[in-house]
Each structure stands twice: as structure tokens, then as C-alpha cells.
Amino acid sequence: MEAVYIPHLLKAPKRTAEIIVDDNISELDTLIPVKGKIVMRHGGNFLEVASQAETIITLVCDRCLQHYNQRLKIDTSELIWLESELENIEDLPAEREVSMEDLSEVLSPNGHFDPQMWLFEQLSLALPLRKVCGENCPGAAKTPLKDEFQLDSRWSSLAALKNQLNGSQD
């Protein structure tokens, strides 16, 4: 997928471009290529990007550490503001306060939009936080408990204190 030059969208019919996706994304390890579409619409001072895509990825279960496959599907849209860079990067202070309005995606109106990177970000956001292979996940392997008489010698003082306390409660 090639980057889209944003001013070219102004000349497109209805200021809209559509990209059919049937490709691997290099940063995302998938079993099959990502399939779907990305629609970009130039709205004057913003770029509206929407996508429906899906793929299959291999995850590692957080409980039992087994590998399992999961379908990853997105149906999302985002508004990206188009603003000229008002400040020179070298003139920025080392620290500055950031308002809530500044916490949005901004691109130059004369720049490029990278649909592959945007799709990677959206698919990454769709990854599950808790990775569990299924309802019947066995969980972590249970280790058998050692006999109380086979205690590590470093715990012998604590075991003596425990016996002493148990004896005084009788």
C-alpha cells in the first residue's frame, strides 16, 4: 500500500478514494493477508478515514501459554485534522502544557497519509487485552505440593515457630 498524497483527494470524485486491501502488513504477524477496504474522504480541513478489514492472528494464551488462532476484525472510522504546521519544531520548548483539544491526530494538508500504518494501528487496537484460548482453558499447569516433612532446611526455623504456636493454642 502506497501513501496517499492528500491534495490528490481534492481532485477525486466526491473527494473520496477507496483502497481494497488484500495484503500482509509487515509490522503485524498474521496467518492470512489482511482483507478489506479503506475509504478516505477529504472534508476540507479534515480527512475522514473508515475501514472494514479482517485477518487471523496467532496469540499466546495468558493462562496456559498455548498458541491459538483468533479472527481479528475491525469496522472503524476516524477524523484526522488537516492543519499547517504553525510552529517550527526547533522553536518548541522542551516541556509544554497540552490541552485536550491537542490530543488528536493531525496531518499536513499538503502531506501524505499512510493507509498501511493507519490500518496497523487500528488492528493493534483491536487486539484483545486478555488473551484466553477458550472457555475450557486448563490454566497454568499445577505443580504437586511437597510433603510438609520435605521442607527446605532454610524454613526449619519458621516450621519450629509454627509448631510452637500450634502447641500453645491447644
pTM: 0.71
Q: In this predicted structure, what is the pLDDT of residue 37?
A: 97
CB-CB contact of 24 with 1 (8 Å): no
Task: Compute the distance between CA of residue 38 and CA of residue 122 in angstroms, rounded to an integer.
Answer: 11
CB-CB contact of 35 with 52 (8 Å): no
What digits encode the pLDDT tens for the residues 9-42?
999 999 999 999 999 988 888 999 999 999 999 9
What digits encode the pLDDT tens for the residues 114-155?
999 999 999 999 999 999 988 888 876 666 655 555 667 888
CB-CB neighbours of 1 under 10 Å: 15
Cell 490530543, residue?
Answer: 103
Q: In this predicted structure, what is the pLDDT of residue 85?
A: 62
What digits encode the pLDDT tens for the residues 73-119?
999 999 998 887 654 455 556 676 666 565 567 888 899 999 999 99
- Residue 11 C-alpha cell reads as 481532485
What digits encode the pLDDT tens for the residues 51-61?
999 999 999 99
